[in-house]
Amino acid sequence: MAQRPVIVDCDPGQDDAVALLMALASPESLKVLGITCVAGNVPLELTQRNARRICELAGQPDLPVFAGCPRPMLLPLTTAEAVHGKTGLDGSGLPEPTMALQDRHAVDFIIDTCLSAGDGEITICTLGPMTNLAVAFVKAPQIAGKIKEIVFMGGAALGPGNRTPAAEFNIATDPHAAQVVMEAGPPLVMFGLDVTHRVITTPARLDAITRIGSPVSEAVTGMLTFYDRNDPDRYGERGGPLHDPCVIAWLLQPDLFRGKQVHLSVETGSPLTMGQTVADWWGVTGKGPNATIMDRADSDGFYSLVVDRLSRL
């Protein structure tokens, strides 16, 4: 597999952390050009700190990490400490980072990196609210031609949300940014709750991570034990969903997932359904597809890949 140049835009978050570790463990497949951070699961001051903590855990303190937008485009910031803890990485036991945060703003890094690339060269992975990427498109819409695809965790096409009855957290946090991205032009690949709720960290799967027996597996075990959303009525079995790593897993092993090409948009006007990802599943609008929405996963294969990549660090 040829090395794919990627920018990872994230708001770590325990599941963001696992996704970053998987990406950093896969240099033969992914060339991580930089990590851009946004406010989401916790405020920006913590997400950029957490990204640096994960880089150091992975033994890659030279990877550039950039801080981006501290709030959504139009709405006040809502965070998710109830899920991720006060630090965003509760349970990890990781020390304060010593590597430097880059001076450049994340939005400028995204723009400059894309403009210096060939047409259709850069893959953008968004694991949190899409504020940084949307602002980049507003500031420099010409970057759209440089982007191969935008692979994102967010939304729910066929079921309810988890931030509101209609909307998933990442999209609900900044729906206006998400709609800017939907309309920007590059192909979209969506990993929403329809598929992430199929990859549950059961006790047996968590035990397989623990048995790796490394500082990385110890930190991940601690994070996922804290993050465990043990709700069999919601997920069908004991454990919690591992959302963001689906994005990286698809880049590494796309046959783990299946989906459908549809037209996708985001509700930004209704107080009742603000942030809902509206998928034209049966083509009733006549609008051409702009997204592939994943809704099926090989969960055992997914966790085998997670364990394999974490074992490399």
Residues carrying an active site annotation: 243
Residue 201: its H or E element:
strand 200-201
Task: Decide: helix, strand or coil at residue 184.
Answer: coil
Pick from 83, 25, 100: nearest CA to 57: 25
CA dist 226 and 223 (Å) reads 5
Residue 190: its H or E element:
strand 188-191
> What values do phi and psi take at 173, rounded to 5?
-65, -40
> What values do phi and psi take at 102, rounded to 5?
-65, 150
- Non-local (6+) Cβ contacts of 23 within 8 A are 6, 8, 30, 32, 125, 248, 251
What is the full DSSP assignment across 144-168? GGGEEEEEEE---SSS--SSSSS--
- Non-local (6+) Cβ contacts of 264 within 8 A are 155, 157, 182, 188, 190, 277, 278, 279, 280, 290, 291, 293
Is the distance from CB of 313 to CB of 24 less than 8 angstroms?
yes
